[in-house]
Structure 1
Amino acid sequence: MKKWLLFVFIGVKVCAQGYTSYFTGNSTNVTTVPLAGYCLMGGATENDNAMTWLLQRANGGDVVVLRSSGSDGYNDYFYSDLGVNVNSVETLVITSVAGATNPYVLNKVAQAELIWIAGGDQFNYVSFFKDNALETLLNAHINEKNAPIGGTSAGMAILGAHYFSAQNGSVTSAQATSNPFHPNVTIGSNDFLQIPILANTITDTHFDNPDRRGRLATFLARLVSENQERKFGIASNEYVSVCIDENGIARVFGDFPNYEEYAFFVQPNCTEEFVPEICTANTALTWNRNGEALKVYRVPGTQNGMHTFNLNDWNSGSGGTWFNWRVVNGSIAVTSAVNPQCFLAQPEVVADVEIGLAPNPVHDWLHFDRLVSAVSIFGLDGKCLFDSKNAVVQSVDFSGIPAGYYVLSYEWEGVRFYRKILRN
């Protein structure tokens, strides 16, 4: 890593063009090799150990904080308080599309090794960051630079491929379950940030203040009903952080057992009939499915993040407990459960040491080192997205498939193989 150290200073730059900059650190940009990782924080005071985990992935580079209100509260915290070496921390308070697309802002985001999205109002982020050059740079940061990104509260809310936009304000569990199409249940899908491991996933924050189980169940009910496929949810209590490494392993930080601090990994049951029984406008939600509509792995957050959940299979975890959630006539109920072993409903992923394929991750064309047949692409929900039938091919096109993990199935000399593929 080549680095020039000049001096440390704190500067404030106020612009009439929709943003304000607060800078701390070394004014000369450095280029380091960051390590991918994602931090989903529940919305209250930051967890120091989780933030240390995330900052270390910047590998001494430059940190950019994005927010739409507030000021420089993160600058000293990231730059010096946690004892992790970074080159600089710059907070950009963006208050308009003009600010989001200002060349200065775009340049700083392009140079960042770590991006943190603060709390606030996520509809400001949707309004200011989406469908413009800033969105393009954020997705390049994630999928081309393979650099870390995280957020708290509103910042966490926009990290999933599906997201609660809060376009019409917040919504309570009671409002959502009594009418899944309540005007405040506003959900965006596959049109903003593209973190591959969070494809098919929606997040929720401040999960214990107030109780938001009902509204997350409603968000998932809407997504499952409208897409007719399994979707997933990750929720954090206020003081809990979910840190996802480059291998898709989620580690949960908090202060359990001193406090009841949990993360929740929520998925529809993997039975043949998993769609909500009643999910219509102006009618209370019913998603029962014999009392096992949703399978939930509740993981206590500890200071060292010792408990985990595997987002590659949504099945393997440590230190957590399984529960069933069900909603009947708008009322949610919780019972104890066992591991649903939903991975058994998906094709087995078999390591293939004989047939070469590249590149993986893939963006458009994936190439085999020989002719194969009967190629299929499955989502992790088991849905078949592509089937070549009996055609013999040596390449397969992933360009029309959203970013995320998939299972590739194919035959060669009468033997069927399976490989897990990341589309970036």
Structure 2
Amino acid sequence: MKTMLKIKNLLHSIGLILITMQLAFAQQDSLSLSQTVKCYLTGSAEDVQSKTTPGLLLMGGSTDVKEAIAWFLTRSGGGDVVVIRSSGADGYNQYMFDMVPVNSVESIIIDSRAKAENDSIVAKIRAAEALFIAGGDQWNYVNYWKNSPTEDAINYLLNTKGAPVGGTSAGLAVLGSAYFSAQLGGVTSKEALGNPYHEKVALGHDDFLNIPLLENVITDSHYTQRERQGRHIAFMARLMQDFKHKKILGIGIDEKTALCIDQDGRGKVYGTNHVYFLKNDKRGPKTCVNGSPLTWNHHGQAVKVYKIQGNATGNGYFNATNWTFSGGNSYFYYVNNGVLY
């Protein structure tokens, strides 16, 4: 009996040792991962909890729009600002920190699925009073962040905490409920209009970020500078065709230009160029099939466009809840046999 009891106690001790070793290894792995995540902090490391005001900053890329970023930062209530990206470093830190009084600006490089699932990184995002998604490669954002705790944290800020969220270029591309993922790289307007099912026309819909004010909206950046109007129309046609939606909307934003939307859906345009609002009036394309050019005409009125010029104080008016406008001008786009008019 004594021998059996000794064996039993020995096995129990071995079990405890193994459990302790497993926990130690798990903690070591977690520490190792957290050490490899590049975080750049400017300001105080102390977490503050300020009163936030919801808002969306949609910026078209190239030179940032200072007035729009100041609008965005002010809505943090002076709290902690987090910038997330999959490449680069701390380029926004001092720029934002010096612009508007905030407790801190921290840039986090989330360049893998493992880092998007890291508890300490997710906690930093959830604790933020403002979140900005930098430019880069939107496929990295979709590939690494979609269906991860990072995605959940962003949606928590948007829909529960009510913190302002913004993005530029690739960061803008993922903010709509529909998005061009760039999984196989960029696509030109000529390629997309010539075949809306071109392999590079990689689209997602209702499976990433959840922003009610951008429901059924697909965005595009560097708009007229890179002649992206045609591909934007092709994206809309594909989404109508594939997802059977009667209404798909588009927001195209020029470089050096930004659209700021407040908590009630009211938007103004800042910067030196234009924002373009595209409505399809619930009439889908005539020909949108694999291997054939797009045709979307409807007597020259396939997609209605409203164009607003930006300025330093915020020009024009856009209502994201009902898509009404003022302070700009309107016209139509249509496509015949792969040619945009």
Deviations 1:19-61 (A, max 9, x none): 2000010111000110000011001111000000000000011
**Correspondence for 1:196 among 209, 212, 227:** 212
Q: Distance in 1 between matches of 2:37 and 2:61?
A: 23
Instruction: Measure how far apart 1:223 and its partner are.
Output: 1.0
1:234 aligns with 2:251: yes
Q: Give the SS at the match of 2:82.
A: strand
**Correspondence for 1:38 among 45, 53, 56:** 56
Q: Distance in 2 between matches of 1:99 and 1:305?
A: 37
Superposed counterparts of 1:20-419, under 5 Å: 20-80=38-98, 82=99, 84-226=100-242, 227-255=244-272, 261-270=273-282, 274-315=283-324, 317-333=325-341
Question: Would you say the 8 A contact 1:297–1:322 is kept in 2?
Answer: yes
* Structure 2 residues not aligned, in runs of 5+: 1-31
Instruction: Measure how far apart 1:15 and its partner are.
Output: 5.9
Q: Give the SS at the match of 1:144.
A: helix
Deviations 1:52-94 (A, max 9, x none): 00000000110000011111000001111x1x11000000011
Question: Would you say the 8 A contact 2:177–2:214 is kept in 1?
Answer: yes
Report sequence identity in percent. Answer: 43
Structure label with greater radius of gyration = 2
Deviations 1:118-169 (A, max 9, x none): 0000000001111011111110110000111000000000000000000010
Question: Would you say the 8 A contact 2:308–2:315 is kept in 1?
Answer: no
Partner of 1:8: none
One-letter identity of the residue aligned with 1:253:
Y
* Structure 1 residues not aligned, in runs of 5+: 1-13, 256-260, 334-424
Deviations 1:312-334 (A, max 9, x none): 1112x22110010001001101x
One-letter identity of the residue aligned with 2:308:
V
Q: Give the SS at the match of 1:243.
A: strand
Q: Distance in 2 between matches of 1:195 and 1:168?
A: 25
Question: Would you say the 8 A contact 1:18–1:98 is kept in 2?
Answer: no
One-letter identity of the residue aligned with 2:256:
Y
Instruction: Measure how far apart 1:269 and its partner are.
Output: 2.4
Q: Distance in 1 between matches of 2:315 and 2:303?
A: 25
Q: Give the SS at the match of 1:280.
A: coil
Q: RMSD value over aligned CA atoms? A: 1.4
Q: How many residues align?
A: 310
Partner of 1:396: none
Question: Would you say the 8 A contact 1:161–1:192 is kept in 2?
Answer: yes
Question: Would you say the 8 A contact 1:18–1:97 is kept in 2?
Answer: no
Question: Would you say the 8 A contact 1:249–1:309 is kept in 2?
Answer: yes
Question: Would you say the 8 A contact 1:61–1:86 is kept in 2?
Answer: yes
Using the TM superposition, name which of 95-104 and 70-79 deviates more. Answer: 95-104
Q: Could you list the runs of 4 or more consecutive aligned residues of structure 1 that deviate by over 2 angstroms after TM superposition? A: 14-19
Q: Distance in 2 between matches of 1:166 and 1:214?
A: 16
One-letter identity of the residue aligned with 2:142:
V
Instruction: Measure how far apart 1:16 and its partner are.
Output: 6.8
Q: Decide which structure has greater strand share.
A: 1
One-letter identity of the residue aligned with 2:185:
G
Q: Distance in 2 between matches of 1:127 and 1:96?
A: 8
Q: Distance in 2 between matches of 1:235 and 1:251?
A: 14
The normalised TM-score by structure 1 is: 0.72
One-letter identity of the residue aligned with 2:319:
N
Instruction: Measure how far apart 1:18 and its partner are.
Output: 5.3
